[in-house]
Amino acid sequence: MKRLLSCLSLLIAIAASSFAVAQTGGELRFCLRSDPKTFNPILVEDDASETIRYLTGGVLMHLNRSTQQLEPELATSWKVSEDGKTIRFKIRDNMSFSDGTPFTAEDVVYTIQRLMDPAVHSPTGDAFRSAPGKVTALSVGKDQVAVTFPAPVVGLDKLFDQVAIMSAHSPQKEMAVLGPYRVAEDKAGSYLLLKRNPYYWKRDAAGRQLPYIDSIRLDIQQNRDMEMLRLVRGEIDFINTLDADSYDKLKAKAPGMVQDAGTSLDAEQLWFNQVASSPLPAYKKAWFTSTHFRRAVSSSIDRADLARVVFRSHAQPAVSWISPANKYWFNARLQPHPFDPKAALQLLSQDGFHLKNGTLYDRDGHPVEFSVVTNAGNKAREQMATMIQQDLAGIGIHLNIVTLDFASLIERITRTFNYEACLLGLTNDDLDPNAQMNVWLSSSENHQWNPSQKTPATPWEAQIDSLMRQQASTLDLKKRKQAIDKVQEIVWQQEPFIYLVNKDAMSAISPSVHNAHAVVLRPQVYWNIDRLTLGKEVASRQ
Amino acid sequence: MKPLQVAAIAFLLLLTGMCFCAASVLPGGYERQFRDLPDAPPSHTHPLGTDDLGRDRLARLLYGTCVSLLLAPAAALLSSVLATCIGGLAGFVGGWVERSIMACTDLFLSLPWLFLVITVRAMLPLNVSPLASAAITFALLGTLGWAASARVVCAHARSLRRADFVLLARASGSTGLRLLRRHLLPNLRPIFFAQFLISIPAFILTEANLGMLGLGVAEPMPSWGGLLRELEGFALFSPQPAQFVPLILLVIVVVCFHLALPKQEIPT
């Protein structure tokens, strides 16, 4: 009897504690850097608007940020035709927007029409435009929609993760949503308040309606130090992205708060200006267009030191334009370029460079000196540039570091081309490498080292153009993988971008937020927003 | 001279001397990265510890101080000379010339300083050595920082123009250059020195502000602004006490410059 009583009391204790842990209700708080520029989901361009879209928008299918697999949402199933031009969805029934307007196939058709309307200029819609021509969206019966594109669209189904469905009939227009939350209050420059969507369709295994948390308060806070301070004071519940410095400092103060999800998709990279019409002297253009020169510079940079010192070991030497975090597309045969100043000097000697009294000279006797521009205020980049400066001094190259305000930097690298080398980072949200077509095609404006070429300046750029077009024109995943692997190999050999490090995805989460497991893909912390719960102390905070 | 004034000048001279000797005392230099010792606490080999990249903090502090103590007075001299020429001319000539020059000065004062410095800096050539970059930064500050002093000089020159001894000199036949050289400029000298000494700490602080934004002296050359960046976010975390040394030294130096000012020569 005594044993039975003790078992019973234990069960009651467990039930009570689990109730306290899986507390529903409450208000989750975190910070946005700026006000969202739009609440219209098809016009989203900035980070803040993207956050609102993610928290409020209902999508046909959802990319699970943890498993990197597509999952059904508003569409219970879908099928892409063999020619890759048509996708058919079967729509979930008996659902409503946040204002009670019923959700039908007509809403999907309306959203696709708005998305692909050239007059709307939707940045989300741009990803679907594989060729000129009209996109047709038709409802087939009561619960099916077929969307047909003029040409095959690579990775078509995954693109729908970004398309929040809008209501064709709601008087609230884009403010009527199908996601877990709706915008309840917007105080420009101060905060946004999101409240639970009473018509949200998802339920947990126990049949309880999701999301668990009642409301989300998004404070507009530009200052990162203030954001950290507020987290430590308990005024906000998480910080989505942390830099290595803040991570270590916060870890020393509150070890349970920080999470390192591992290598992210983002890379830090250095490139030389290879624009033929740039105002650089001819001998410098000759250096920068030489593969030997670029590879020598690459070999003389100690990437392991950059990762260890600048990023406090929360980064790893970068290999390719695709991060190892992108498990399917990364070419695992490639290794980081080793730190080898002797090999660098050998490469340079093949182009007539020679060392004299600790200074490197080219074959015409010009001392090798160039500048690298980077954006002012980014401590990690300034530190990387300083370390590269010391590394290059080891092979007799004199590097000058120039920090510029961002507008001046962009002006130099995109308009005047009055720069020699640039150190910047690439933020990557998309797993599919097709999203980087605008970087790799030599005709593209974003082909940073030599943009908007009429014809490819080098045979290897022509080969990259051909391979990228080839992978964009087939739906055969194996063929696409082969083409992308080959592009990675060419880039590894030619180094138009010298990839330095892949940073880790780091976040800080208050212990009072439960079910939060930071992942590599954005949004790192709140990717499973409808499953997050708050501890008792936070749930009661109003 | 008051004892406090003497002490301030002595401290500034001593500090300058120490900074010049830094090269022989600290052979590691300010730029060498001890990459196995980033963020090291104070030790026998690194008395103030090392920074994020493993560079000796003491060496960087001394070199940075040297840069500020040499270049800030140079910038102050440049701006004071410009202010004396422009303000002196306006005050001495008077009339529409004075009104025009002072209108330009007011316009110059109303410009957003920091953005002007950032814009001009962005247009400079990229391939300059760190020392040249430091000199350019301070030269920019000197070239753009004359306007406030010019107003003070103009007011003083105007009062001199109307002074009895100037009227007497005019009545005695002194005109133009002779009047300027014999009567006006010698009497503007005290105001010139006062403006010069006032400008030095102002330029030190402006460079520190630019450095905090990452737009000051180029790496690896240290400056006070760059050194103060180590204290970013200090309200949140507990930095090493050694990280406060540049801040303390900056405050002491700025206070010393103010104490060293000859008080009777400050216009009221």
Q: DSSP letter string over chain B?
A: --HHHHHHHHHHHHHHHHHHHHHHH-TTTTT---TT-TTPPP-SSSTT-B-TTS-BHHHHHHHHHHHHHHHHHHHHHHHHHHHHHHHHHHHHH-HHHHHHHHHHHHHHHHS-HHHHHHHHHHTS-S---HHHHHHHHHHHHHHHS-HHHHHHHHHHHHHHHTSHHHHHHHHTT--HHHHIIIIIHHHHHHHHHHHHHHHHHHHHHHHHHHHHTT-SSPTTS--HHHHHGGGTTTTTS---GGGGHHHHHHHHHHHHHHHHS-GGGS--
Angle, helices B57-93/B130-144, rounded to nearest 10 degrees: 30
Determine what percent of chain B is predicted with pLDDT higher than 70: 93
Interface of B with A in 65-94 (CB under 8 A): none
| pLDDT tops 70 at residue A537 | no
Q: Which of B54, B218, B235 sits opposite A402 (nearest CB)?
A: B218
A259/A1: higher pLDDT? A259
| B175 CB-near residues (< 8 Å, 6+ apart) | none
B213 touching A, CB under 8 A?
yes
The Cα A310–Cα A305 span in angstroms is: 8
**Cβ–Cβ of B127/A371 closer than 8 Å?**
yes
Q: State which residue of chain A sits closest to B236, comparing Cα positions.
A: A229
| pLDDT tops 80 at residue A515 | yes
pLDDT at A17: 44
Average pLDDT over residues B98-110: 91
Report whether CATH 3.70.10.10 matches the domain B3-260: no
B42 touching A, CB under 8 A?
no
The Cα A417–Cα B12 span in angstroms is: 45
Residue numbers in B near A386 (CB within 8 A): 33, 53, 219-220
Q: A188-223 as b/e, with b when 16 or more CB fall inside 10 Å?
A: eeebbebebbebbbeeeeeeebbbbbbbbbbbbbee
Question: What is the bridge-based pairing of β-strands A258-272 and A497-509?
Answer: antiparallel
Least confident of A2-11, A385-394, A412-421: A2-11
CB A41 within 8 A of CB A107: no
Model confidence pLDDT, tens digit, residues A237-267? 999 999 898 898 888 888 889 999 999 999 9
* Predicted complex: ipTM over 0.85: no
Residue numbers in B near A225 (CB within 8 A): 232-233, 235-236
Q: Which of A232, A387, A418 sits opposite B236 (nearest CB)?
A: A232
B159 touching A, CB under 8 A?
no
Residue numbers in B near A246 (CB within 8 A): 233
Nearest Cα residue to B153 out of B202, B194, B103: B194
| pLDDT tops 80 at residue B47 | yes
State the DSSP code for A497.
E
Q: State which residue of chain B sits closest to A246, comparing Cα positions.
A: B233
Q: B145-173 as b/e, with b when 16 or more CB fall inside 10 Å?
A: bbbbbbbbbbbbbbebbeeeebeebeeee
**Length, in residues, of chain A:** 542
B175 touching A, CB under 8 A?
no
Structural element, H or E, at residue A299: helix A291-299
**Cβ–Cβ of B122/A404 closer than 8 Å?**
yes
Question: What is the bridge-based pairing of β-strands A369-375 and A398-404?
Answer: parallel
Q: Which of B53, B118, B235 sits opposite A309 (nearest CB)?
A: B53
The Cα A474–Cα A156 span in angstroms is: 12
CB A494 within 8 A of CB A294: yes
Which two structure tokens, joined as six digits, stand for B181? 């050289």
Determine what percent of chain B is predicted with pLDDT higher than 90: 21
Count CA within 13 A, CB hemisphere, residue A308.
Answer: 10
A176: left (phi over 0), alpha (psi -120 to 50) or beta: beta
Mean of per-residue pLDDT scores for chain A: 90
**Cβ–Cβ of B220/A386 closer than 8 Å?**
yes
Closest CA of chain A from B30, distance in Å: 12
B218 touching A, CB under 8 A?
yes
Query: pLDDT confidence of A416, banded at 50, 70, 90?
Result: very high
B36 touching A, CB under 8 A?
no
B127 touching A, CB under 8 A?
yes
